Structure formats: C-alpha cells, structure tokens
C-alpha cells in the first residue's frame, strides 16, 4: 500500500534553489535510516532520524512502516518537515520502519523516484527498499529487469521512475518466489550489484541492511533500549537516543528481528571509503570509521595554515561547512577567528520561485557580511571546496564591497577535477573550474582559479594532507574526484564517464 501527499515538485537538481543558476556546491547523495523496535513509535523515530540526515538530500523524503501484515509507505518531494506532519506519522503504525531523504543522482526528481520504493513479490511478500549511493552497472541491471518484464522500457512505478533504486527493488522482489525468502533473494542479487550502495529493506517483519563491498558510503548500527537502529551516520543514532554499536562492514548483509541481529558477508573486496564524506558530506558531529568528522576538518585547517600561511588580521569561514577548517587554521596560525558572514538558516530548498530582482541578489539571500568585522581587514576565508567558482567569485566581490582590504582564500580540499559516479553529483569535467586553465599543474591551476574568482591569494590543501587528516590508510579511501583514479570503475552508458575515458586515454 502506498500513500502520498501532494506537495509541489522542487526545482531540478542541477539548479541553485535561490538563483536558478547551476549549483556551485557539491550535491550530497541520500540518507537512509532503519529501525526495528516493537512497542516503540518507529515512524516518529524515523522522522527524527531523517531530520538528522537532512543534509544528505533535500529533494524528497519517505518512510515505510511494517506491521507483519502490511507495509505502508508515505513519501513526497520536499524537506522532511514539509512531507510529514503529526497526523501522517500517527497513521504509520508498526514494529519496523525504513526512511529515506533524497538527492537525485540517478533518475529525475519526481514523486515516482522518491523513496522508499515499494514492490510486491510473486509469492505476495511486500517489500520496501531505500538506497544511498549510485550503481555503476545500472544499465545492465535495467536491461535485465526489462527483459524479465519486471519494468516497462519507459520506466518503473507508474511509468515514471528511472532510478537505479527502482530497478533494484524490482529485481529483489522478483527473487522472492515460492520457497524463497527476502534474504534468499538478497543473497542472489547483492553480489551482482556494482558501485556504491547502502540498502535498507523490510518485508514488514524484519529489518535488512546491506553495504557495498567497497564501503564507499558510511552505514552504522545502533542499539535502542527496546530495539535496533541502522543509519547513514552516527548523528542519526544520537538524535533518537541510540547507542553506537559498530560500523556495518563493507560487503555485509544484516537482518534484525525478534531473534536479534544476524549477519553474513556477500562479498569481500578492497575498501574505498569516500574521502569527501570527511571533507564535506557528513555532518561534523558524525564519526566515520572511528574518526570524528569535526576533528578531521579541524586537522585539515591546521595543515593548511602550516603549509599555506598568510599575513592576515582575521580568519573567517564560509558557513557552515567551512567552519571547522577555519577554526583549525586560526588555531594553528594564531590569527583571530571571527564569524564575518552570517548565514540565513531558513534559506533552503524552496518551492517559491524568486523574481529576477531577487535572483540578482543571489548569494546575499544566503550569506551576508558583517561590515564592522570585515571593514579594513585582511581576511583569510576558508571554504570546503570549489566546484565552478561562481559562489567564491560573488562572495569575494561582496566582501570587498563590505570594506575588506585583502581576501585570501583557503580551501579544505584539493581542486575538484573529476566527476563522481558513486553518489555525489559534481559538475561535468568541462564545468569544473579546476579544468579551465593551468594545464594540469597544481600551482598553475590555483593561479588560474585565483584570477577568475578575484582573490588576493588562493591555496588548496594537498591530497596527502587531506587523507592524513582522516587518519585512514590511503589505500582504503576513494579520492577519485581529486585524482581521477576510480576504484569501482566507470559506469557504462554515462556521457560523463565516456568523457573521462577519452580524457584518460588522451583522446580529448
């Protein structure tokens, strides 16, 4: 059974929600949350868990609740607070729930693609599935599902869904036939799925979770007094009062019900955790593979100050993601830290289209300088990354208009030169500012970008220092967006992936 509200559809994923222009920020992927807790209000636990994971996707949200006999799914486009209210949550009653907050990386942003996905198997078992990540063999899986007539060639779920999650849902449900259970179907399907994924699945009785063999995206297990929680990040455990137990291992499939937590491995390959989770994606109060995200970002800032010092009066962040690195830079350099930019916390994704006049205001709707802090000062401005450079150029102009004497930019990640195919939506190679000048030499690239954005100086943290700040072995991390080395390979049938192949072969 699928239920839905009727919120309007947000703007397309490639556009900034205020200016209507192509976004200049890395786009997060998705957040997943699951809870098995008989006697608890699992829908409200999921709601608060998704609130903690809202930063991972702002285009759609959904919760599926099971009560043994039925699964009820409620989902819609919009933020978690826009999709759910008290009456909806009170109607979602059961012992097990999975939730999802979405940013579209495969499939357009429409109601059909909002998760969890719902399917009924040939033996009548209801299945709900939520997914964080991106599949590199999606095209082959889609062709298989079409060949089996599980989905029409033009889409899934009411002829509309084009997401990899919809395809996986169809294949998983099809595997639950007479004499086979959901876990039997998962054992057959999971080893055939390639790419980055964290799946949350339920048949209304049991909570299942799986993490891809490389462990690209984080997934953690937590303990409630009367149950268990699985979530994308530890911050979601904190908000629902769950105690962190452990990370779900790469290639691990777990099942949670009245018998406890059962676990098995479906694959084993070299690890490739996403380093950008530490830099930008994850909330700073989360812990990934035993390392505090906040501590990693502080350390990156300190390393930047050590190798890229500057004579300045103030260190200030681009809030919020640049704040920990700016604190680290200030601590290491001894330059005072101040909040010279005020962020409007209520400017998020909006369904109200701004006028041309408001679009011209652009960045000021989100960030506004504090003139009395900035006027006459030499500033070190710390940001997490540069994608297209549009935001930094406008920001520097705004700071100079507020009286800044000098603006020195420090970036808490290396230049982004390559697209991500594992769940983060960067621009195509030609749209990335790091590829538009400099001839590939890092010093020349920095100087080219500095000129474009109008900074007095610009420096990036090195790849080695960024990795060192995570305290993870370099050979267990994926840094493809910085290095062009793709540990999970490149997807077929993807124009950006085809372009990357040509560039790497020297054909472009």
Consult the annotation and say whether 420 binds a ligand.
yes
Q: How far apart are CA 382 and CA 459, in angstroms?
A: 10
Q: How far apart are CA 278 and CA 286, in angstroms?
A: 9
Q: How far apart are CA 109 and CA 60, in angstroms?
A: 8
Q: Is the peptide bond before 320 cis (omega within 30 degrees of 0)?
A: yes
Measured in whole angstroms, the distance separating CA 298 from the mean position of its chain's CA atoms is 21
Q: How far apart are CA 66 and CA 57, in angstroms?
A: 24
Active-site hit among 18, 30, 326, 409:
30
Q: How far apart are CA 379 and CA 408, in angstroms?
A: 6
Q: How far is CA 353 from CA 7, 8, 10, 357, 426, in A?
A: 15, 12, 10, 11, 24
* Of 434, 370, 364, nearest in space to 395 by CA: 364
Q: Let me know if 30 is a catalytic residue.
A: yes
Consult the annotation and say whether 274 binds a ligand.
yes
Consult the annotation and say whether 184 binds a ligand.
no
Contacts of 121 (CB under 8 A, 6+ apart): 127, 173, 174, 175, 176, 177, 182, 185
* Of 298, 316, 314, nearest in space to 306 by CA: 298
Q: How far is CA 83 from CA 15, 59, 287, 343, in A?
A: 21, 10, 28, 24
Consult the annotation and say whether 286 binds a ligand.
no
What are phi and psi for residue 83, nearest 5 degrees?
-80, -40
What are phi and psi for residue 244, nearest 5 degrees?
-60, 130
- From start to end of 341-472, where are the E strands? 341-343, 367-369, 378-383, 406-411, 457-460
Consult the annotation and say whether 198 binds a ligand.
no
* Of 488, 490, 482, 484, nearest in space to 506 by CA: 484
| Binding-site positions for [4Fe-4S] cluster | 274, 420, 478, 481
Binding residues: 274, 321, 383-384, 420, 478, 481
* Residues flagged as binding site for Mg(2+): 321, 383-384
Which residues are the active-site residues?
30
């Amino acid at each position: 059974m699928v239920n839905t509200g009727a919120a309007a559809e947000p703007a397309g994923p490639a556009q900034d929600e205020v200016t209507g222009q192509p976004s200049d920020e890395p786009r997060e992927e998705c957040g997943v949350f699951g809870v098995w807790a008989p006697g608890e209000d699992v829908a409200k636990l999921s709601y608060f868990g998704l609130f903690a994971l809202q930063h991972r996707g702002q285009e759609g949200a959904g919760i599926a609740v099971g009560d043994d006999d039925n699964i009820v799914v409620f989902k819609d486009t919009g933020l978690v607070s826009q999709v759910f209210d008290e009456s909806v949550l009170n109607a979602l009653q059961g012992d097990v729930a999975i939730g999802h907050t979405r940013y579209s990386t495969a499939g357009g942003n429409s109601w059909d693609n909002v998760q969890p996905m719902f399917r009924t198997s040939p033996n009548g078992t209801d299945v709900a599935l939520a997914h964080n990540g991106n599949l590199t063999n999606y095209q082959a899986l889609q062709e298989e599902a079409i060949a089996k007539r599980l989905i029409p060639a033009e889409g899934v779920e009411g002829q509309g869904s084009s997401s990899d999650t919809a395809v996986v849902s169809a294949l998983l449900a099809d595997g639950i036939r007479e004499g086979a259970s959901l876990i039997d179907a998962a054992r057959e399907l999971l080893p055939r799925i390639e790419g980055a994924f964290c799946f949350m699945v339920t048949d209304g009785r049991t909570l299942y979770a799986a993490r891809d063999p490389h462990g690209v995206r984080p997934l953690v297990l937590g303990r409630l007094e009367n149950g268990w929680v699985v979530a994308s990040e530890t911050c979601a455990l904190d908000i629902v009062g769950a105690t962190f137990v452990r990370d779900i291992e790469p290639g691990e499939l777990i099942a949670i019900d009245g018998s406890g937590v059962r676990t098995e491995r479906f694959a084993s390959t070299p690890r490739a955790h996403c380093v950008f989770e530490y830099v930008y994606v994850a909330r700073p109060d989360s812990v990934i593979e035993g390392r505090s995200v906040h501590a990693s970002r502080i350390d990156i800032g300190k390393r930047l100050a050590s190798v890229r010092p500057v004579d300045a009066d103030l260190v200030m962040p681009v809030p919020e993601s640049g704040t920990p690195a700016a604190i680290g830079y200030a601590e290491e350099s001894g330059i005072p830290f101040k909040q010279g930019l005020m962020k409007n916390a209520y400017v998020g994704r909006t369904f109200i289209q701004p006028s041309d006049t408001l679009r011209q205001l652009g960045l000021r709707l989100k960030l506004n300088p504090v003139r009395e802090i900035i006027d006459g000062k030499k500033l070190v401005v710390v940001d997490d990354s540069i994608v297209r450079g549009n935001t930094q150029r406008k920001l520097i102009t705004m700071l100079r208009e507020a009286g800044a004497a000098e603006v020195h930019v420090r970036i808490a990640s290396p230049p982004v030169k390559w697209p991500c195919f594992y769940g983060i939506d960067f621009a195509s190679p030609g749209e990335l500012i790091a590829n538009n000048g400099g001839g590939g030499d890092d010093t020349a690239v920095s100087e080219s970008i500095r000129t474009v954005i109008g900074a007095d100086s610009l420096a990036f943290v090195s790849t080695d220092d960024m990795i060192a700040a995570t305290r993870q072995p370099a050979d267990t991390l994926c840094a493809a967006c910085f290095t062009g080395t793709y540990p999970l390979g490149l997807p077929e049938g993807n124009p950006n992936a085809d372009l990357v192949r040509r560039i790497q072969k020297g054909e472009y």
